Amino acid sequence: MTNVACSAPYTLTMELTHRCPLRCLYCSNPTELIRQENELSLDHWISIVDQAARLSVVQANLTGGEPLAYAGLTAIVRRLRERDIYSNLITSGIGLSDTVLQELIECGLESIQMSLQSANKKTAELIAGWNAQEQKLKALKLATQTKIPVALNVVLHKHNIGEVAELIELAESMNVKRLELASTQFYGFAMVNMEHLLPTREQMEEGLAVYDLKKKQLAGKMQLSWVIGDYLESSPKPCMGGWASQHIVVSADGTAYPCLAANAINTLSFPSTKEHSLKWIWEESPAFNAFRGYEWMVEPCRSCEFREKDFGGCRCQAFLLTGDARQADPVCKLSPHHHVVEEKIAAANAYPIGPLVHRQFS
Amino acid sequence: MTESLNLVKESILQMSPGVRLKDDETRQCKLLLMPESIVKLNHSASEVLELVDGNRSIEKIYAELAARYEDETLHKDLAEFLLDALTRGWIEIKCP
Ligand code: SF4
Ligand code: SF4
């Protein structure tokens, strides 16, 4: 098979560690967490930054786990700055003291995205498996007092979708300029806990109505965004510009993926930055080329008029729900597997019977 | 200019915190880098944004562009673009 020509990647997501003091029910890390002894060295990350800059990457997300738990974080931020790559820290806020914050900003950190589980302490504890609310709010306050922008990100699900108004109020009171309300996407741990997380259509619509109203009221003061949960949508989300067209994710052990959820696709063998250059991975590796272009598609996508708009939806979701990553995303009404999504919604609307599964941190 | 911008033609504009321009040699264009997103700018957008430097007023930006181009729709186009950039949070009005 000849490779489809690809253009340069824009962003690099660096999953520095899978360690995290929190144990969220919807954590996007793979259910098999990478242990500390298998994490990459600082030198290796520095080399990845250099290689990414040569590939014309212009933006980097530092994430985890909790990236503040990785000792070389500030050195990586400094290298990103030296290579003129925009750096964004995605953090739970645990471990973000004033000193750490100042050091990161001095090294060139350009923006922060902080997560919050709920406006309510008890719910937050149920979700994160740990009482961290006070520490998190303290960190948020420190961060909003700096000169760099802070976005607050709340993953929405059954347990907090009724809190939209409270969440917005809380963000206002903390002087947050950007609030992202992001529906749970079902990969990793979230898939394990799907029945406990997926809200009903009515709950979603109620939340959305509050959001729409507030968004108008707060225009010019706070930027609000709502990320749709695609199980409840009628058309699939377009894979970001198509598979492996803009992003590279390097995971804590050096494996490279086109997106955070791609490790779910166990029929592909993802290349390691320990064995290959980032350039080879991006341009030549079979995994990154697997779903570029349209040749790989099967029906109904193959002859569908929307294929250039949504690229057949999400490959990871197609794999998770059908076992074949080339299938149409089952969220699509035209997919012969669409009933699987309907069944999941029905299961989540019934009283969930399985146990809650928090990720274990060791 | 549109009503709302006419009122503030003396206002000084600056890039919002965490938003900056980058010259991209590979892609042969200017990029606008900001938290979690990147915008590929066309030539006229990057020309305007280069003038948004925390020193120039809206009036001054218009005057500089007008000196470069004789374009009847410049006034209207600039107003629309700045309004759009303000609502998207790319730029902001500098408090005096
Ligand atoms: S494969 Fe799915 S999760 Fe990955 S980038 Fe595409 S849409 Fe997103
Ligand atoms: S059939 Fe495939 S290309 Fe067509 S809308 Fe559905 S997912 Fe998209």
**Of A84, A88, A147, Cβ closest to residue B35:** A88
Tell me what the mean pLDDT of segment A224-242 comes to.
Answer: 82
Q: Which of A14-28, A135-149, A329-343 has the lowest mean pLDDT?
A: A14-28
pLDDT at residue A261 tops 90: no
- Among A248-257, A344-353, B7-16, the range with the most confident prediction by mean pLDDT is A248-257
Residue-wise pLDDT tens digits, A263-318? 889 899 999 999 999 999 999 999 999 999 899 999 999 999 999 998 999 999 89
Q: According to the model, what pLDDT value does residue A102 have?
A: 96
Residue A227 in contact with ligand 1 by CB distance below 6 A: no
Q: Which residue has the tokens 């008029």?
A: A305
Higher pLDDT among residues A127 and B39, named by residue: B39
Alpha carbons A5 and A258: distance in angstroms, whole number = 16
- Supply the pTM of this predicted model: 0.90
Q: According to the model, what pLDDT value does residue B1 have?
A: 40
Non-local (6+) Cβ contacts of B9 within 8 A are: B1, B57, B58, B59, B62
Non-local (6+) Cβ contacts of B54 within 8 A are: B12, B13, B14, B15, B94
- Quick check: is B96 in a domain? no
Are B18 and A149 in contact (CB < 8 Å)?
Answer: yes
To the nearest 10°, report the CA torsion of A171, A173, A177, A181: 10
A89 CA from centroid of ligand 1 (Å) = 21
Tell me what the mean pLDDT of segment A181-191 comes to.
Answer: 83
Ligand nearest to the CA of A248: 1
Q: Which long-range contacts (C-beta less than 8 Å, at least 24 apart) are formed by A166-174?
A: A166/A119, A166/A120, A167/A116, A167/A118, A167/A119, A168/A210, A168/A211, A168/A214, A168/A218, A168/A222, A168/A224, A169/A119, A170/A116, A170/A119, A171/A222, A172/A218, A172/A221, A172/A222, A174/A137, A174/A140, A174/A141, A174/A144
Q: Does B73 touch chain A (CB under 8 A)?
A: no
Higher pLDDT among residues A351 and A271, named by residue: A271
- Give percent above pLDDT 90 in chain A: 55
Q: Which long-range contacts (C-beta less than 8 Å, at least 24 apart) are formed by A327-333?
A: A327/A298, A328/A236, A328/A298, A328/A300, A328/A301, A328/A304, A329/A230, A329/A236, A329/A237, A331/A230, A331/A231, A331/A233, A331/A235, A331/A236, A331/A237, A332/A235, A332/A236, A332/A300, A333/A234, A333/A235
Non-local (6+) Cβ contacts of A306 within 8 A are: A235
pLDDT at residue B2 tops 60: no
Nearest chain A alpha carbon to B85? A220
A163 CA from centroid of ligand 2 (Å) = 34
Confidence of residue A355 (pLDDT cuts 50, 70, 90): low
CB pairs under 8 A between A and B: 47
Residue-wise pLDDT tens digits, A120-144? 888 888 888 878 888 889 999 999 9
Are A58 and B16 in contact (CB < 8 Å)?
Answer: no
pLDDT at residue A257 tops 90: yes
Confidence of residue A353 (pLDDT cuts 50, 70, 90): low
- Give percent above pLDDT 70 in chain B: 92
- Distance from CA of residue A70 to its chain's centroid? 19
pLDDT at residue A75 tops 70: yes
Interface of A with B in 42-71 (CB under 8 A): 56, 58-59, 61
pLDDT at residue A358 tops 90: no
Q: According to the model, what pLDDT value does residue B72 have?
A: 83
- Quick check: is B49 in a domain? yes
Count up the domains in chain B and report the number.
1
B74: domain CATH number is 3.90.930
Residue-wise pLDDT tens digits, A26-74? 777 777 788 888 899 999 999 999 999 999 999 999 998 899 999 999 9
Higher pLDDT among residues A153 and A123, named by residue: A153
- Quick check: is B39 in a domain? yes
Ligand nearest to the CA of A317: 1
pLDDT at residue B3 tops 50: no
Confidence of residue A199 (pLDDT cuts 50, 70, 90): confident
Q: According to the model, what pLDDT value does residue A344 have?
A: 82
- Quick check: is B95 in a domain? no
Q: What's the mean pLDDT when you consider all of chain A?
A: 89
Q: What is the CA radius of gyration of chain B?
A: 13
Domain that holds residue B55: 2-89
pLDDT at residue B69 tops 50: yes
